[in-house]
Amino acid sequence: MTSLAAEHPVSSKVFGPAAEPVDRAWVGPPHRGSQPLVRATHPDKAISQRATVLAAMCEGESTIHALADCRDVRRNLDVVAALGVPLRATGPASITVTGRHPSSWRASGLTLDAGNSATTSRLLVAVLAGSGARCVVTGNDLLRTRPMSEVAGPLGELGADLAYLDAPGRLPIRVNGSPLRGGTVVVAVDSAQPVSALLFAGTNAAAPVTIHRRTAARDHTERLLRWTGVEVIESDNSLTVRPGRPSPFSLTVPGDPSGAAFLGALHVASPRAGATLTVPGVGINARRTGFFDVLRAMGVVVGVTSTADTGPEPVGTVTLRRPGSLAGTQLADPGVVQSVIDEIPLLAALATVATGPTQIRNAGELRGKDTDRIAETVALLRAFGCHAQPTDDGLLVHSGPPSPPAVVDLVADHRLIFAAMVLSVLCGGGVELRGVAAAATSHPGALADLAQWAPVEAR
């Protein structure tokens, strides 16, 4: 089969050439001061990827503005372009997509490399499974360790012909596209990605597809589908999508709530925490803003104000300041955990300076991310001299401020890298972080954000 080249012209035309990321950075003593801060966050990666694939499925011309510039979205664009879907750069981080029915995509004979993007790989497998394509979907070394059976299993029950080419339940997967029937399937993990993949597949099935799930997770896919005319019916524990053709659309991607959480964590960790941080233009979907709810419970003053609601997602401004010490907390409700799942390493970092322990449960999904985020979060905290224990489905963080290690060697996981930056501020700086280049998976500008709260020196 023909392989997808590592770099396709489309992403470079949309964003310009990708900068070589810094891999080692020294973090100095945090800045002091009492002046209010205003800092915008980067666009939402999850919405950028879903919107691009959806636009490729529409029959007609869609426009997407303010795409997230990161490795995952760049690879997402390149893979869609490799399928023969016309993508045209129309401005900085903006594209026009001339979509076509997936049966018209030129996937047969291709090996589609999703890089490190789990969202891209799962959505593609689901859409291509019902398209008639004969192709292979794969990813980089990290992505090939992540579970795919939670997507491939339910797709098989709908009639998909999929085959693992290496380890069972892992990429690469051979897709022998064939018509999908409707029916009822079960997603047995607390994660939005398998549900999103099945919703995309259901738009092209022969009959409605009902998905039973354990916990309601982020709903960007449901919102996008409804906004483009596809019927999605939701209850507490299930979703039903009726087959239909999404209509072309024009979308401006809102700011990333996870990026706003990173900014908020840096601020709360810093000597400037008593001043107000304002983050404008953020997606304030309630299923993505759990981090700020937990911060309130820990004693942070948080404001969330709606400023726009013209697309599928509510958008607003987040303000926060920490007037005093943080309080330890208990995090166990599955719905709340899902709304903060990507930010748990950040919360664990902040919990080290809270009064009393912090217990996080029902987060077992973290063991199947880029790394085992439960084990790696605990290891990171211990590298900073903090006390924490892993559990089967979460972790326990004891109160005790971090101390600065001279050097920290980081695992290739962007969420852990963000937490290490917060810990570096909490401990007063004087830390060299090695391996920060992996932050470019979702946020190449992470060091520039960190520099607002502490001096950063590339090494």
pLDDT digits (tens, 9 = 90+) for 210-229: 999 988 889 999 999 999 99
The neighbour count for residue 67, using CB atoms within 10 Å, is 28
Task: Identify whether residues 389 and 292 lie together within a single domain.
Answer: yes
202: confidence class by pLDDT, cuts 50, 70, 90: very high
Task: Identify whether residues 346 and 440 lie together within a single domain.
Answer: yes
φ, ψ of residue 197 to 5 degrees: the values are -60, -45
pLDDT-above-90 percentage for the chain: 93
Nearest to 119 by CA among 191, 57, 49, 213: 49
At 353, which amino acid appears?
A: V
Measure the CA dihedral 75/77/80/85, to 10°. -160
Residue 5: predicted pLDDT = 40
Task: Identify whether residues 110 and 195 lie together within a single domain.
Answer: yes
Where is the domain boundary, 228, 252, 276? 252
Please give the structure tokens belonging to residue 39: 């800092």
Residue 322: predicted pLDDT = 98
Q: Is 168 helix (H, G, I), strand (E, B) or coil?
A: coil
Question: 428's torsion region: left (phi>0), alpha (psi -120 to 50) or beta?
Answer: left
CA distance 178 to 368: 29
Write down the H helix ranges in 290-436.
290-297, 334-339, 344-351, 373-383, 414-426
pTM > 0.85: yes
Task: Identify whether residues 227 and 300 lie together within a single domain.
Answer: no
Over residues 335-389, the pLDDT tens digits come to: 999 999 999 999 999 999 999 999 999 999 999 899 999 999 999 999 999 999 9
Residue 372: predicted pLDDT = 96
Task: Identify whether residues 298 and 397 lie together within a single domain.
Answer: yes
Task: Identify whether residues 211 and 303 lie together within a single domain.
Answer: no
Task: Identify whether residues 261 and 200 lie together within a single domain.
Answer: no
Please give the structure tokens belonging to residue 343: 């930010």
Cα of first residue to Cα of last residue in the chain, in angstroms, is: 41
Q: How many domains does the chain have?
A: 2
Write down the H helix ranges in 215-325.
220-227, 257-269, 290-297
CA distance 150 to 153: 6
pLDDT-above-70 percentage for the chain: 98
Residue 391 parent element (H or E): strand 388-391
pLDDT value at 143 more than 80: yes
Task: Identify whether residues 40 and 114 lie together within a single domain.
Answer: no
φ, ψ of residue 233 to 5 degrees: the values are -105, 130
43 preceded by a cis bond (ω within 30 of 0): no
HSE (CB half, 13 Å, CA atoms) of 29?
A: 2
3: confidence class by pLDDT, cuts 50, 70, 90: low
Q: The domain that contains 279 carries what CATH number?
A: 3.65.10.10
Where is the domain boundary, 252, 274, 292? 252
Are the C-beta atoms of residues 410 and 434 closer than 8 Å to each other?
yes
Give the DSSP letter of residue 342: G
Task: Identify whether residues 51 and 103 lie together within a single domain.
Answer: yes
8: confidence class by pLDDT, cuts 50, 70, 90: low
Which residues have CB under 8 Å from 65's CB, separation 6+?
91, 93, 94, 250, 251, 252, 253
Owning domain of residue 161: 45-252
CA distance 148 to 329: 33
Where is the domain boundary, 252, 277, 293? 252
Task: Identify whether residues 22 and 109 lie together within a single domain.
Answer: no
Q: Is 320 helix (H, G, I), strand (E, B) or coil?
A: strand
CA distance 69 to 72: 8
Task: Give me the active site residues, please.
Answer: 342
Task: Identify whether residues 175 and 60 lie together within a single domain.
Answer: yes
Task: Identify whether residues 308 and 327 lie together within a single domain.
Answer: yes
